[in-house]
Structure 1
């Protein structure tokens, strides 16, 4: 497998790795411009030899041609790559004996990268269950993060959502009322990126 990357600071990096029979075989050290053997001593010596110079040819490809192709793909996909859709958030809670299972459903967002966590005031609550980020038919994404807690007086449970489409993270508050299931949702039509939701 091989590939190249142009970082935000303009620097270029790449990789070129080979496998054989389910194991690593050899890899190109792009900084020093030589192939490093994992189990392919003879092949590596031949590829690094002055007669073959495979390492120079492949390093040149990764740093030039591959980057040109990458830039073309980025230009062709720019509209989708730069698309920003604010997440919608719904919180809910289910009584489970003495504890409460809190759910934070985040959906309809783009791009894919998102950070979702439950907080109790300023303290992060350990996640009980997190789904993978899943695609929606419209090209947006969704995720659900759950936490099992035993609410005490003064606890303040918040689902914190951070995403590129937001100027600052969304904070959706869950509040318990008389032991019943309660829910809250974010108001994505509002200009405010912080929402306080009560059942």
Structure 2
């Protein structure tokens, strides 16, 4: 193709006497160039098109199991006492799901909670290739609203709604637990101090008894020497 293209072109060569170089000019019209470009395009387009399609098919076959993989999320909707805030932290955790796209929404009395009230919401990877997402909300101890965690995912046939089992006594339980822990520690340290003091008094008593016995023995020995 290249030789045919050259033969059909007007080739001009000009010698530069100053530096001894040659300048070659090819005079060819667009009409003559177009058939050769089309031939070149068809040849390489057919070649690379087939290579690309074959490579893509092999890649899709290799990744088919992963592409079609679906794992249902495990949902936990819990409350935890927040001693700094004086109320609760309500958290909804979805973990172990694949693919990565998930819709997790917190509802208050069947109305979506405003975004500025929610913390978290970042999509994080797990070690097994699945993903997790957590959204949390701070509420007061006197809150009487109904809270729901709603999740939609490709692995779920229907939307999954979980209502929060609210326990208003948790802050009080947390305080009681802390007080009992402190009392237990005080009892342990008190018992240890009492045992240490008792051992010290016993050691002093034994030492005093030994000293008295030694003094008595010396007195008896002195009287014997005098007689």
So what's the TM-score if we normalise by structure 2? 0.46
Contact in 1 for aligned 2:72/2:156 (Cα 8 Å): yes
CA distance in 1, matches of 2:109, 2:81: 21
Q: RMSD of aligned C-alpha atoms? A: 3.5
- Aligned with residue 107 of structure 1, among 88, 95, 115: 95
- Aligned with residue 147 of structure 1, among 130, 137, 155: 137
Structure 1 residue 66, shift from structure 2 partner: 6.3
Distance change >3 Å, CA 65–CA 104, structure 1 → 2 = farther
Match of 2:120 in 1: 130
Match of 2:16 in 1: none
Match of 2:152 in 1: 162
Structure 1 residue 117, shift from structure 2 partner: 1.4
Match of 1:116 in 2: 104
Greater fraction helix: 2
Distance change >3 Å, CA 72–CA 122, structure 1 → 2 = farther
Provide structure 2 residue ranges, at least 5 long, that are not aligned to the other structure. 1-33, 42-48, 172-227
Match of 2:67 in 1: 81
Structure 1 residue 149, shift from structure 2 partner: 3.0
Distance change >3 Å, CA 167–CA 178, structure 1 → 2 = same
So what's the TM-score if we normalise by structure 1? 0.52
Match of 2:204 in 1: none
CA distance in 1, matches of 2:156, 2:67: 16
Number of residue-to-residue matches in the alignment: 128
Structure 1 residue 118, shift from structure 2 partner: 0.7
Contact in 2 for aligned 1:95/1:179 (Cα 8 Å): no
Contact in 2 for aligned 1:156/1:175 (Cα 8 Å): no
Give 3-state SS (helix, strand or coil) of 2:60's partner.
helix
CA distance in 2, matches of 1:180, 1:83: 40
Contact in 2 for aligned 1:87/1:107 (Cα 8 Å): yes
- Aligned with residue 175 of structure 1, among 150, 155, 165: 165
CA shift digits 1:156-188 (9 cap, x unpaired): 10111111000111111112223317xxxxxxx
CA distance in 2, matches of 1:64, 1:129: 50
Match of 1:93 in 2: 79
Contact in 1 for aligned 2:123/2:132 (Cα 8 Å): yes
